[in-house]
Amino acid sequence: MTTHAASLARALGSALPGLRTSDDDADRVAYARDLWPREHLAIRAGRPAGTRPGAIVWPTSTGEVSTLVRWARERGVPLVPFGAGSGVCAGVAPREDVVIVDLKRMGRIRALDPDARSIDVEAGHMGVPLEMTLEHRGLTLGHFPSSILCSTVGGWVAARSAGQCSGAYGKIEDMVAALECVTGTGEIVTLRRRASQADLVPLVVGSEGTLAVVTSATLRLHPAPVVRAFGAWSFPSTEAGWEAMRAMLQAGLRPAVARLYDPFDAMLARQGSVRGERRTGGPKAPGLGGAALRAVLKYPGALNELLASRAGARAMGGALLVVIFEGEGDKPHHDLAQARGMVQAHGSRWDGEAPARRWLEHRYSVSYRQAPLFAEGAFVDTMEVAARWSRLGALYDAVRGALGKNVFVMAHFSHAYPDGCCIYFSFAGGADPSLARTLGWDAACEATYDRAWKAAQAAAIEAGGTLSHHHGVGRSKAPRLRAELGDGVEVVRGLMRAFDPSGLLNPGNLLPPGPPSWSEPPRGPAAEPTFVLDRASLLARLDGAMTLGETEELLGREGLTLDAQTPSPSMTLSDWLSRGAPGSRDRWLDPADQLLAGLDATLGGGRALSIRPAPRRAVGPDLTALFVGAGGRFGRVDRAWMRVHPVDTPRPEAAAFACERDPAMSPGESALLDAISREATSWGVRP
């Protein structure tokens, strides 16, 4: 224990005597990082926990969190909210002057209303116990991330996470009705979702502990499924498989699970149950198995090219799509029958129920098979990106190609939506031989790992994808965030100042390193078409100055509609969005869908902000919330990427959810809005 850590612990104990506190060296090492695979390489090389927090605290109530934040603000002590540490993006990297705030002692269920299908649960509640409690009441949250055994409600909210059943239930942002938070000033505020007024919830969801400490969440629930229908198909190509997925989602089908594996990943999935892992007696040098593995991974490019060829795809049995519909009565089987008719048109072969049933049985197993590969001298990681359907092929080819030059790569497509899909790349690598000769094996592994990630992130941005679909940004992806968000990075920085004026909450996380920097404004207005239709993704880019009547006329010529009971055909699209899109379909009816996929806007300071269209993203706060329902307070929408719908396609409806759609604004929310407004007046203004 260092002198600084001991001093910090004594100060905490004196100021907050009832708060459980530790400065034990073992605790400080345990809380020094999350599960970012890059850190596993450092540990293997004998460099565990390069930085450690000064102390760890375990509050038991929101009041204790508020008192702690006020104390920290007075003393200038940074705080890092902590769930279960299962993040994989270096969201936790504390210095010695930092206090870790572990929220797992705040795990109470405050209220559970089966009739309203709503639960108020504290941030430290773990995933599996939550689902077990709900199952006993005939309910489910529908949120099943691979980390459900070792993650918390607060962690899900912080990272904007996705579960394996997002096709029916959406991501965590589609489940949150309200959040109780403690801001960086120590104020306790409850943020509520709203339909036609400013909504601050989307700003905190995905903020990764940098805006506020989330202490409780009110979440939407669903009836627990009593019937499941399983299906699987093989395809001659991966592209044929994702076209079948697109057809299902755009026809209004909502499979809880729809996972498409490229040929190599599909070959592994077809092998059946997960094999038992070889037990080891602790860390040791890689043996013969490790030597063979390292030899295979020395030259991954040729292996990737072989497996990506048509001959390789045929030899491995082609791509594999597994689907699970769930619900009650005959509906799951009816939906599966409808899906079979659609999928048949894409050159598929029906493989029956067995592959989907196997997947469900082993749905969490793969998350716990990484350690043996690190022990054998290799490394393994995952990268989840997303794009609209029209860009999905380019994204797949670009990221696979960039990774494939450095590591062995495979992929599956999960979390599909009407307008696009997530691609989940898994890759394994070793040391580049040329680097290993000069740097040594472990250092060369680190250099190879960094090179692969840098190339893949650049490729994702260039192909029109988003850097993260559900793992978040942390510190690992932060250096590339400006490439995706542009001046949105500075908007996020302004939100941090509004919520946390002293900059105490998880400093160094999420934003790219370096001083604030607005981009140079464009030299002149670029000519932009007023209407761009991406039919493959069922998205339309519409000019904000167009009236709703003009919009519907343009879409109608294409057999499409916004499907909204708009208040006036003469209202502009920009004005309509600023009022919260009155007359649009209730967001709770179809959690897998969205109203708005991206936009171009003018900020209060006169600068332009562009949010590229994506089916879902996890790259910090959802900045569209500053424009939809905010009454023009923070800027205006110039162009919007709207979800459009075929006029003859019925839209799905989830089970009813009873929550107030437009609750009154609380004093705490009003104060935050005023703080954001003060920041917004200077966004992009030159000093």
Is the pLDDT at 294 greater than 80? The verdict is no
Is the pLDDT at 241 greater than 50? The verdict is yes
Is the pLDDT at 496 greater than 90? The verdict is yes
Is the pLDDT at 426 greater than 90? The verdict is yes
Report the share of the chain in percent with pLDDT over 70. 94
Which of 151, 180, 158 lies closest to 66, judged by CA? Answer: 180
* pLDDT digits 0-9 by tens, 315-336: 788 999 999 999 999 999 999 9
Is the pLDDT at 2 greater than 70? The verdict is no
Is the pLDDT at 467 greater than 50? The verdict is yes
Is the pLDDT at 359 greater than 80? The verdict is yes
Please state which of the ranges 293-297, 465-469, 511-515, 655-659 shows the lowest mean pLDDT: 293-297
Vertex 630 angle, CA 626 and 635, to 5°: 60
- How many Å apart are CA 157 and CA 660, to the nearest integer? 21
Q: What is the pLDDT of residue 567?
A: 87
Q: What is the mean pLDDT of residues 681-687?
A: 67
Termini Cα distance of the chain: 45
Higher pLDDT, 370 or 685: 370
Q: What is the pLDDT of residue 317?
A: 86
3-state helix, strand, coil in the chain (%, to 5): 35, 20, 40
Q: What is the mean pLDDT of residues 134-139?
A: 97
Please state which of the ranges 370-384, 590-604, 661-675 shows the lowest mean pLDDT: 370-384
Q: What is the mean pLDDT of residues 517-540?
A: 83
Is the pLDDT at 522 greater than 70? The verdict is no
pLDDT-based confidence at 367, cuts 50/70/90?
low
What is the total residue count of the chain?
Answer: 687
- How many Å apart are CA 185 and CA 201, to the nearest integer? 18
Cβ-count burial of 378 within 10 angstroms (0-12 exposed, 13-18 middle, 19+ buried)?
Answer: buried
Beta bridge partners of 102: 82
- CATH number attached to the domain at 109-223: 3.30.465.10
Q: What is the mean pLDDT of residues 529-555?
A: 96
- Locate CATH 3.40.462.40 in the chain: 227-472
Q: Phi/psi at 505 (nearest 5 deg)?
A: -90, 115
- How many Å apart are CA 181 and CA 401, to the nearest integer? 42
Q: What is the pLDDT of residue 526?
A: 61
Q: What is the pLDDT of residue 3?
A: 64
Q: Which residues of 258-275 are buried (b: 16+ CB within 10 A; e: fewer)?
A: bbbbbbbbbbebbeeeee
What kind of architecture, by CATH, is found in domain 227-472? 3-Layer(aba) Sandwich (3.40)
Which of 74, 67, 79, 81 lies closest to 18, judged by CA? Answer: 67
Q: What is the pLDDT of residue 285?
A: 36
- Locate CATH 3.30.465.10 in the chain: 109-223, 531-680
- Locate CATH 3.30.43.10 in the chain: 3-102
Q: What is the pLDDT of residue 525?
A: 54
pLDDT-based confidence at 181, cuts 50/70/90?
very high
Query: Does the domain made of 531-680 have the CATH classification 3.40.228.10?
Result: no
What kind of architecture, by CATH, is found in domain 3-102? 2-Layer Sandwich (3.30)
Is the pLDDT at 142 greater than 90? The verdict is yes
The torsion angle over the Cα atoms of residues 506, 508, 512 and 517, rounded to 10 degrees, is 100
Q: What tokens appear for 521 in the block?
A: 């404004």
* pLDDT digits 0-9 by tens, 65-87: 999 999 999 999 999 999 999 99
Q: What is the pLDDT of residue 424?
A: 97
Q: What is the mean pLDDT of residues 279-304?
A: 62
Is the pLDDT at 273 greater than 90? The verdict is no
Q: Report the predicted TM-score, pTM, of the whole model to 2 decimal places.
A: 0.95
